[in-house]
Amino acid sequence: MADEQNKKVNEHEEHEDEILGKAYDAKLMKRLIRYLKPYSNWVIIAIIFTVGVALLSTVRPYLTKIAIDDYILNKDSIGLRNIILILFGTLVFQGVVQYVMTYLTQWIGQKTIFDLRMGLFEHVQKLSMSFFDKNPVGRLVTRLTNDIEVLNEMFSSGIVMVFADVFIIGGILFFMFSLSWQLSLIALSVVIPLIYATIVFRRKVRSAFRDVRFFLAKMNAFLQEHASGILVVKIFNKERKTLEDFKKINYDHTKANKRSVLYYSIFFPVVELIGAISGGLIIWYGGGEVLHGILTIGILISFIQYSEMFFRPIRDLSEKYNIMQTAMASSERIFKLLDRKAAISDAENPMELKDVKGNIEFRNVWFAYINEDYVLKNISFTIKQGEKIAFVGATGAGKTSVMNLICRFYDIQKGEILIDNVNIKDIQQSDLRKNIGLVVQDIFLFSDSIANNISLNNNRINPEKIKQAAKIIGINYFIERLPLNYEQNVKERGITLSQGQRQLITFARALAYNPKILILDEATSSVDTHSEILIQRAIDKLMEGRTSIIIAHRLSTIQKCDKIIVMHKGEIREIGTHQELLELGGIYSKLYQLQYKESLA
Amino acid sequence: MIYLRCLIPYLKVYKKKLFLGFLVIAMSAIFTNLIPLVISKAVDDIKAHLAYGLLWQYASLTVLLALISGFFLFLTRQTIIIVSREIENDLRNDFLGHILIQDMRYFHYHPTGEIMALATNDISAVRNFLGPGIMYTSETIVNFILAISFMISLNFELTLVAVLPIPLISYAVYKIGKSINHKFELVQEQFSVLTTKAQENLSGIKVVKAYVRENSEIESFRRLSLDYMKKNLKLAKVQSFSFPMMFLLTGFSVMIVLFVGGNKIINEVMTIGELTAFIIYLGLLTWPIISLGWIINLTQRAEASMKRLCEVFDNRPSIEDSSSITNSIIPIKGEIEFKNVNFRYSKELPFVLKDINLKINSGETLGIIGHTGSGKTTLVNLIPRLFEVKEGELLIGGKDIKTFPFKSLRTSIGYVPQETFLFSETIENNIAYSEQNFEKDKVIQASQISQIYKDVDNFPKRFETLLGERGINLSGGQKQRTSIARAILADPKILILDDAFSAVDTYTEEEILNGLKEIMERRTAILISHRVSTLKNSDRIIVLSDGMIAETGSHESLIQQEGIYADIYFKQLLEEELKEL
């Protein structure tokens, strides 16, 4: 059932990972910048430092100019020494400021990323089960890790450097124009062809990159498909053909890459050439001005340095483009997830659930996972406090859905579910679930210590209670024989817990929480006889003194229950005790022969 | 650099182009390094008021030199970078070639994700070394040599003091690089811890929700996140150091040149033009030196990736055509015999098949039934040699299976695997997977027998319908029937159907089996099923239990034995009855 749901949703969401759009999206950017707010003071300081770095790094050619014009050419070696000392001072100062700036921006980036990651994680924790049915774990993990990591990269290298580059360009312009605006205009006239070249290059390279991505995706799909279908490839002896097919796609990819190489190999020399033209213009015009005595030789030299410095950041900016593009795509995916609303929300003024007795009632409940595909049809039953009820039925009869609904993992379409006569929609989800102990069929243990797997890091459950629960369940002997006892990590190498032992740990977990209502989906997997005895005894202990609902797979468990509810095709078909139902000769008696009676062999 | 040496044979293929590449790097560098000399001369002439009328010549000479250098720069990228792309291409082809010859065991231990990561990320890392890595390294070296030589030709003493900070820079690059690497590893480790935590939390979300542990989960994720942030900041502390440090040290060079050079000018042993040239040369050297750290990083990553790739290249499949095979095509007869076969997947694992003695005659149809994990699939997987028999013998037509070349063995077997796998291709290409040039009639015929023809006929594009993401998704039953058609079209001597009807309803199953009857008469057929209905008409049925043949006989005789088979049969009758209710 869940599988089918996944498939349907996957068709729509599959391509989400491949979105790659603009390098700058004002809306996304605004939202990202909102995360900087708590650190706005630090951001301002970082910006001041960035301006400082820009000024300090652009002041150097200016100091060179003073050194040449005022001291070297005037043969003033003491003045030269002084200006060198100033230069030394600015260098050291620049180094310090630059270090602080770089670290500060990284710090802000890391803090922001941390907040974003936690925000996303907290958000995901609040989403409902129906969301997790539709979204594979792998994809969510990617959002929490890789996508956020991409933003990390943007924050720590991309964006700040873009700012720094802009400021540096500003600083260069400031000094150039204050030295000679005429020469500045002439030297910088090449910016126009440069911008033009950059635009053309960007357009060309973008289309080449689109092709590269297209063929890369195709190649990945091919690899993915043939690696997972390797059995078919081998059976049909198609290794050679597969390789031939792959070579074609691979070469398409290479060709697209070569096209982008071509654009790069034109663009970079063109930028160099434009820089050189600027230098030539400085010599031609500036040299003339020096000869006419309008400019000094120092200005000329500083201009040569400035023009060299000017083109570097511009080239950098076009390289930052890629980082920005992937970052935008990642943030779009992250925000999309953040905007996802939980399908189940608590009532506005929830009723308090005090002293739960454990009466459960289903009143004409209709439920479907998708649309109108009802898996439960008009289900009604009452379970009184302390009763032990077994649910039986073939796979797909709707037993697990009943369990899920009591925990309110899903909301029903029609009808009511009541706990102690209160509709569960009026109770806080956490309040409701605190009173329910759920043991699901797929045993899930965290890679943590046994103690933590029992308490699930709940402070209320102290080591004493953990041990007590383990003892009642009967797993204490086993745990105490482990090298680290209760602190033993369950996933550690060399420690292999049997299926039965793992199950007993989940029993101990449910017991430690001491719920009013127990919901147990018995595991079907067979275990060794010793574990089997322990499990049966443990189930007795678990059911003691609580309302218990059990999806039973063992005859022994069924026989311990007060009542059996037989489900078939989403409906309740028979209710009664084991003996009554056997005599009835209906569905239960068939199920009994099929599932519960000892095999003939 | 041990593993990167594996790339030498790949580089050799393009040695002419690479040689040209190095040549043009040198040419480009020569012309670039001439520019400061021109500027130096221009400045001196301007200073001496000699330059009237010469200025435009200096200016155009600068541009001309840049133009020539730019042309060579263009050629550099067109050779070195292009070669890196070609090698990437070759490497990837070889990689897949090696992957494809691995045996099934390899794929069992290496998930698809890992293979893809190798083919994309790791090969990309190697490519980065081959392209930008080699290009920038050689550029740096050539520029360095040229700039220093030109500087020496201008003024030896000044050159000496200008390069004074260089050993310091190299040392800093080395030290910082090492520290960054170490801290980066710690960050990566914590990243994987974080990923594992997220993975686990999401897989166990039901338990988390049921026990209302959301907040404590958030708390523990916060702790790990915080730790990750701290490790990142530790890395940032060192990383932030590297850029300012480089700028500072190269700035010192300029400062020293200005001071020493300035004094030389004051003492009239040097000209202002020469000083200008020095300043420009140092500017030219700054970036290559700074990028040194980056290149080192690139190389280290490439080395790590190459190591992983080499592991694949060096891994020999344990099942290969034996060297004793003489004639490549041996006609295979359909008689299969297992003699005292014991089998396990590895030495640490228990036996999956125990003491199997079984002879399947040519043209016989054998049914295999048994519980999950009883060894059914393992048994048939031995026939196409997907796994190798180590204990006992497996004979086909009386000859040891190892004496047949893979090609003739596997083309003689039509296999419908348990997990249906179809390619994202057209239906036609999927059915005719076994043949390069197929006749349409054969596709139609095969699809009719497997009862998929009517379904396909209803699709707008019929046999040209694309499957998978970009096309349509077939239902489980349709997939199985397509997979059966694929095996029929291969026209095999031996037909193996491993639980091939599990998603097909009993009525259609019967239709298919009827259609297959004629085909199976002439071939050896093995049917595995959980359903008695699939097998009941087989010539012989064996029941596998715990890796052993527990019962043998026809449907009727097995029912009479009242053993496992009879029990399964009885339960299936009950299930049918239940469905009707």
Q: Which residue of A has its CA nearest to B434?
A: A236
pLDDT given for residue A492 in this prediction: 61
What is the radius of gyration, based on Cα positions, of chain B?
36
* Lowest mean per-residue pLDDT among A36-40, B214-218, B498-502: B498-502
pLDDT given for residue A527 in this prediction: 66
Tokens of A218: 């195709």
Distance CA B212, CA A246 (A): 49
Query: What CATH number is given for B330-411+530-581 in this structure?
Result: 3.40.50.300
Distance CA B182, CA B169 (A): 20
Interface check for A436 against chain B (CB to CB < 8 A): the answer is yes
Interface check for A124 against chain B (CB to CB < 8 A): the answer is yes
Interface check for A8 against chain B (CB to CB < 8 A): the answer is no
Q: Are A249 and A220 in contact (CB under 8 A)?
A: no
Pick B273 or B450 by higher pLDDT.
B273
Contact B424 A232 (CB under 8 A): no
Contact B272 A68 (CB under 8 A): yes
Which of B17, B20, B103, B112 to mutate against chain A (most A CBs within 10 Å)?
B112
pLDDT given for residue B331 in this prediction: 65
pLDDT given for residue A4 in this prediction: 35
Contact B386 A94 (CB under 8 A): no
User: From the CB of residue B577, how many other CB atoms can be counted at a distance below 10 Å?
Assistant: 12
Sign, CA dihedral A195-A197-A198-A202, equals positive
Coil, helix or strand at residue A393: coil
Distance CA B358, CA B551 (A): 12
Coil, helix or strand at residue B415: strand
Say yes or no: A127 and A188 in one domain.
Answer: yes
Alpha-carbon separation of residue A520 from A18, A391, A547, B128 (angstroms):
42, 10, 11, 55
A354 part of a folded domain: no
Nearest to B567 among A287, A434, A599 (CB): A599
Say yes or no: A439 and A532 in one domain.
Answer: yes
Say yes or no: A308 and A178 in one domain.
Answer: yes
Domain B3-187+238-313 CATH (choose: 1.20.1560.10, 1.10.40.30, 3.30.465.10, 3.30.1490.190): 1.20.1560.10
Coil, helix or strand at residue A216: helix
- Residue range B233-263, pLDDT digits in tens: 998 888 888 778 877 888 888 889 989 998 9
**Nearest-CA distance from B473 to chain A in Å?**
9
Pick B75 or A441 by higher pLDDT.
B75
Say yes or no: A237 and A384 in one domain.
Answer: no
pLDDT given for residue A601 in this prediction: 33
Say yes or no: A419 and A281 in one domain.
Answer: no
Residues in chain A closer than 8 A to B47 (CB atoms):
297
Write the CB contacts of B68 (distance below 8 Å, at least 6 apart in sequence).
B31
Specify the DSSP class assigned to residue A190: T
pLDDT given for residue B214 in this prediction: 86
- With cut-offs at 50, 70 and 90, classify the pLDDT of residue B18: very high
Write the CB contacts of A205 (distance below 8 Å, at least 6 apart in sequence).
A260, A263, A264, A267
Q: What is the domain-level CATH number for residue A592?
A: 3.40.50.300
Distance CA B528, CA B526 (A): 7
Residues of A (508-537) whose Cβ lies below 8 Å from B: 509, 513
In this predicted structure, the answer to whether residue A8 has a pLDDT above a threshold of 70 is no
In this predicted structure, the answer to whether residue B318 has a pLDDT above a threshold of 80 is no
**Nearest-CA distance from B340 to chain A in Å?**
25
Say yes or no: A169 and A221 in one domain.
Answer: yes
Say yes or no: A165 and A297 in one domain.
Answer: yes
- pTM equals 0.76
In this predicted structure, the answer to whether residue A289 has a pLDDT above a threshold of 90 is no
DSSP-assigned states of every residue in B500-521 = TTTTS-HHHHHHHHHHHHHHHH
pLDDT given for residue A7 in this prediction: 35
In this predicted structure, the answer to whether residue A487 has a pLDDT above a threshold of 80 is yes
* Lowest mean per-residue pLDDT among A85-94, A364-373, B266-275, B293-302: B293-302
Tokens of A520: 């147990």
pLDDT given for residue B469 in this prediction: 62
| Region B120-129 average pLDDT | 86
| Region A466-479 average pLDDT | 85
Distance CA A160, CA A54 (A): 12
- With cut-offs at 50, 70 and 90, classify the pLDDT of residue A287: confident
Which of A237, A308, A315 to mutate against chain B (most B CBs within 10 Å)?
A237
pLDDT given for residue B227 in this prediction: 94
Distance CA B494, CA B363 (A): 9
Contact B203 A80 (CB under 8 A): no
Contact A228 B112 (CB under 8 A): yes
Residues in chain B closer than 8 A to A590 (CB atoms):
574, 577-578, 581
- Is the ipTM here above 0.95? no
Nearest to B200 among A232, A262, A447 (CB): A447
- Residue range A161-190, pLDDT digits in tens: 677 788 888 889 999 999 999 999 998 898
Say yes or no: A402 and A321 in one domain.
Answer: no
Distance CA A157, CA A109 (A): 9
In this predicted structure, the answer to whether residue B463 has a pLDDT above a threshold of 50 is yes
Contact B208 A430 (CB under 8 A): no
Q: Which residue of B has its CA nearest to A256?
A: B85
Last residue of one domain, picked from the residues A303, A338, A373:
A338
- Residue range B158-206, pLDDT digits in tens: 999 888 887 887 788 778 878 887 888 888 888 888 888 888 888 888 8
Residues of A (205-264) whose Cβ lies below 8 Å from B: 216, 219-221, 223-225, 227-239, 241-243, 246-247, 250-251, 253-254, 257-258, 261-262, 264
A355 part of a folded domain: no
Q: What percent of chain B has pLDDT over 70?
A: 97
- Residue range A69-82, pLDDT digits in tens: 888 888 888 999 99
Contact B473 A440 (CB under 8 A): no
Alpha-carbon separation of residue A556 from A390, A528, A533, B552 (angstroms):
11, 16, 11, 34
In this predicted structure, the answer to whether residue A12 has a pLDDT above a threshold of 70 is no
| Region A268-286 average pLDDT | 89
Contact A280 B35 (CB under 8 A): no
In this predicted structure, the answer to whether residue A1 has a pLDDT above a threshold of 50 is no
Distance CA B482, CA B425 (A): 12
Which of A82, A122, A235, A307 to mutate against chain B (most B CBs within 10 Å)?
A235
Say yes or no: A334 and A418 in one domain.
Answer: no
Nearest to A98 among B59, B247, B417 (CB): B247
In this predicted structure, the answer to whether residue A5 has a pLDDT above a threshold of 70 is no
In this predicted structure, the answer to whether residue B56 has a pLDDT above a threshold of 50 is yes
Contact B81 A591 (CB under 8 A): no
**Nearest-CA distance from A124 to chain B in Å?**
9
Pick B215 or B320 by higher pLDDT.
B215
A348 part of a folded domain: no
A343 part of a folded domain: no
Q: What is the domain-level CATH number for residue A61?
A: 1.20.1560.10
In this predicted structure, the answer to whether residue A15 has a pLDDT above a threshold of 50 is no
Sign, CA dihedral A278-A281-A283-A287, equals negative
Say yes or no: A403 and A282 in one domain.
Answer: no
Helix, strand, coil percent values for chain B (each to nearest 5): 65, 10, 25
- Residue range A130-167, pLDDT digits in tens: 888 877 777 888 888 888 888 887 776 656 667 778 88
Contact A141 B198 (CB under 8 A): yes
Domain positions in chain B: 3-187+238-313, 330-411+530-581
* Structural domain total, chain A: 2
Sign, CA dihedral B313-B317-B318-B320, equals negative
Neighbouring-strand partners of residue B359: B337
Say yes or no: A403 and A265 in one domain.
Answer: no
Say yes or no: A314 and A367 in one domain.
Answer: no
A126 part of a folded domain: yes
pLDDT given for residue A13 in this prediction: 36
Contact B120 A220 (CB under 8 A): yes
Specify the DSSP class assigned to residue A143: I
Domain assignment of residue A259, given as a range: 8-338
Average pLDDT for chain B:
84
Distance CA B525, CA B368 (A): 11
Write the CB contacts of B259 (distance below 8 Å, at least 6 apart in sequence).
A80, A81, A84
Residues in chain A closer than 8 A to B486 (CB atoms):
236
Residue linked to tokens 């026809």: B554
- With cut-offs at 50, 70 and 90, classify the pLDDT of residue A6: very low
Nearest to B55 among A129, A288, A446 (CB): A288
